[in-house]
Amino acid sequence: MPRSPQTLPTHDNSRQLSWTCTARPAPPFQRYCAPVQLSDAELAVAAAEAGAAVVRARYRTPLTRLEKSALDFATDADVEAERAILNVLRTARPDDGLVSEEAGIFGPSNASRTWLVDPLCGTLNFAAQTPLVAVNIALRNNGHVTVAASADPLAGELMWTDGANAYLRRAAVDEPLRPSAGSTLVDVNVDGPYPNAARFRAVHVLAASDIADSFRPRVSSTSLALAWVACGRRAAYITDGNVIDNVHFASGIALCQVAGCIVTDLRGQPLHAGIGGLVAAADERTHAALIAIIGKQFAKGTQMPQAF
């Protein structure tokens, strides 16, 4: 039976959101709440929160693995979180395209608006009961990411941007994102693919003698660490790979850019114009130092065994 609409406050408490809730007997939800007349930013937040609720509920519960390759897998929690997210997005924006980590590409083939969805970034962490995961949502509108949200389900936090400002939401209170290099922590993604393997491997950054002079490298194995650059918990984030319109990175890149971070490819060039990869840094000094360290690898060249 339909229930009376609920109201949820927005970040400035100046207006209310109307949600229509309908009972659903199937787990993991007892009811499904469809947002009505939400802005794109509010919808990104609602979708991220829907996915985060599933991830939080499934943490430390028995999981079914869905094998992708010898070293990669999803779980039924990934699929459940994705289903919750897509239900929110498709109900509110039925004419938009969708690209999602597990479900793939669907919706209108000529859509100018496409939602990029990573329902559980850090699946291996999640399966190992390591609380470092993210739920990522971004909207690509006419070739540009205009709104985004990244939730940390297990910390009860969410970072989001409307394209003009970026916020960290905790306990229904929003605070502006403020990048800072003060931690000196640099997160390095060592997972593949490795399109620049002949000249660069992120794992070599961890062992570089000059990085230890100024920074403390870390490996979190989730794009949550990229969003942390935007809110000052990491000085920088480094990865190889194609990050353009990538469901893992689109949200974090948008958060960093709006928050005022320096975001380039591995050689310091614009993301759309360079060789790929990503360096997101809290400030220009940190970015310049890391580009110099990475540049030494490119100048020397390196080739790791393919089995590495």
Same domain, 202 and 146: no
Which tens digit of pLDDT belongs to each residue from 30-80? 344 554 589 999 999 999 999 999 999 999 999 999 998 878 899 999 999
Where does residue 6 fall: left (phi above 0), alpha (psi -120 to 50 degrees), or beta otherwise?
A: beta
Same domain, 226 and 262: yes
In a domain, 168, yes or no: yes
Same domain, 93 and 233: no
Same domain, 17 and 160: yes
In a domain, 104, yes or no: yes
Same domain, 217 and 277: yes
The pLDDT of residue 193 is above 80: yes
In a domain, 29, yes or no: yes
Same domain, 201 and 138: no
In a domain, 307, yes or no: no
What was the pLDDT predicted at 301?
75
Q: Is the peptide bond before 94 cis (omega within 30 degrees of 0)?
A: no
In a domain, 1, yes or no: no
Same domain, 27 and 60: yes
Domain boundary, last residue among 176, 209, 240: 176
Which tens digit of pLDDT belongs to each residue from 77-93? 999 999 999 999 999 99
* Count of domains forming the chain: 2
Domain boundary, last residue among 157, 176, 195: 176
In a domain, 305, yes or no: no
- Give residue 243's domain range: 185-300
Same domain, 30 and 127: yes
Domain boundary, last residue among 155, 176, 197: 176
Same domain, 16 and 162: yes
In a domain, 190, yes or no: yes
What's 235's domain CATH number?
Answer: 3.40.190.80
Confidence of residue 108 (pLDDT cuts 50, 70, 90): confident
What's 170's domain CATH number?
Answer: 3.30.540.10
Pick from 32-41, 179-188, 268-277: least confident: 32-41
What was the pLDDT predicted at 110?
82
Same domain, 49 and 162: yes
The pLDDT of residue 154 is above 50: yes
Question: How many Cβ atoms sit within 10 Å of the Cβ of residue 188?
Answer: 23
